Amino acid sequence: MSEVNIIGIDIGKRVFHLHGERGDGSVVFRKKFFRGKVLRCLAEQPICVLAMETCATAHGSGREFEKLGHDVRLFPPIYVKPFVRHQKNDAVDSEAIIEAALRPTMRLVAVKTEDRHARAMLFRTRQMFVGQRTRMINALRGHLA
């Protein structure tokens, strides 16, 4: 597994699917790891490109992978979808993530710092409370009318 140049990672709730390829496009490995063991596996890998779709946990995982020295690239799922070749599942998604990552014009999403991630969470929570308050006021107004 030391010849891998790029690893596509599909993040699930408990399971990560990894797909590793060489620079010429040949497959080195396809593996499935539980959340607790994926960090150990990537620590054993030489420094390479790690490509992932953005999701709720991608930024936290990306920060951990960057601490290991890897080059983390995040892509919006809408950009990866056209590269899924057949039935959609996690293993096929990890392969499609690599296909998307190899495109020179693909737009990346920066890995958020912990501070930026926390500010985004506060903003979204405030938005949710404002929406709930508006719904309550409109419902009360309707009942009183």
On whether both 124 and 97 belong to a single domain, the answer is no
Tell me what pLDDT residue 121 has.
92
Could you give the number of structural domains in the chain?
A: 2
Tell me what pLDDT residue 119 has.
94
Tell me what pLDDT residue 1 has.
46
CATH code: domain of residue 54: 3.30.420.10
Task: Tell me how far CA of residue 21 lies from CA of 129, 140, 141, in angstroms.
Answer: 45, 59, 60
Tell me what pLDDT residue 141 has.
95
On whether both 122 and 92 belong to a single domain, the answer is no
Tell me what pLDDT residue 133 has.
97
For residue 80, which of 97, 98, 61 has the smallest C-alpha distance?
97
> Tokens representing 10?
């599909």
Residue 6: what are its φ and ψ, rounded to 5°? -140, 140
Q: Is residue 20 part of a domain?
A: yes
What is d(CA 9, CA 72) in angstroms, rounded to the nearest whole number? Answer: 10
> Is the distance from CB of 74 to CB of 54 less than 8 angstroms?
yes
Q: What residue type is 73 in one-letter code?
A: R
On whether both 102 and 124 belong to a single domain, the answer is no
On whether both 44 and 99 belong to a single domain, the answer is yes
What is d(CA 129, CA 135) in angstroms, rounded to the nearest whole number? Answer: 10
On whether both 64 and 36 belong to a single domain, the answer is yes
Q: Is residue 50 part of a domain?
A: yes
What is d(CA 108, CA 89) in angstroms, rounded to the nearest whole number? Answer: 23
On whether both 19 and 64 belong to a single domain, the answer is yes
On whether both 97 and 26 belong to a single domain, the answer is yes
On whether both 31 and 77 belong to a single domain, the answer is yes
> Is the distance from CB of 30 to CB of 41 less than 8 angstroms?
no
Q: Is residue 1 part of a domain?
A: no
Tell me what pLDDT residue 2 has.
55
Tell me what pLDDT residue 129 has.
97
Domain, as residue range, for 20 = 6-111
Residues of the chain with pLDDT under 70: 1-2, 90
